[in-house]
């Protein structure tokens, strides 16, 4: 920048090693259950509650 050599100004990315997450079948089933069953039902219940409160006003 000061020497008018803008092509020399770079930000190099950090090299990172790939990491792997190992889960037991029980842990996999728990995460699957939470993601597929519990989270959507919770969001649906919250949305229904908000809708009912707003509707009653």
Q: What is the pLDDT of residue 9?
A: 72
Q: What is the widest separation between alpha-carbon atoms in the chain?
A: 68
In-domain check, residue 6: no
In-domain check, residue 13: no
Q: What DSSP assignment string belongs to 9-29?
A: ---PPPP---------HHHHH
In-domain check, residue 3: no
Give the residue numbers spanning the domain of 53. Answer: 23-57
In-domain check, residue 39: yes
Domain count for the chain, please give it.
1
Q: What is the Cα–Cα distance from 34 to 28, expressed in whole angstroms?
A: 10
In-domain check, residue 45: yes
In-domain check, residue 32: yes
In-domain check, residue 54: yes
In-domain check, residue 28: yes
pLDDT in tens, 1-57: 566 666 777 778 888 888 999 999 999 999 999 999 999 999 999 999 999 999 998
Taking phi over 0 as left and psi of -120 to 50 as alpha, with beta for the rest, 16 belongs to beta
For the whole model, what pTM was predicted?
Answer: 0.57
User: Is the Cα torsion angle 48, 51, 56, 57 positive or negative in sign?
Assistant: positive
């Amino acid at each position: 920048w000061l020497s008018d050599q803008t092509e020399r100004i770079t930000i190099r990315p950090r090299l990172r090693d790939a990491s792997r997450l190992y889960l037991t079948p029980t842990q996999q089933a728990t995460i699957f259950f939470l993601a597929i069953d519990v989270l959507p039902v919770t969001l649906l219940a919250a949305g229904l509650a908000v809708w009912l409160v707003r509707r009653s006003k």
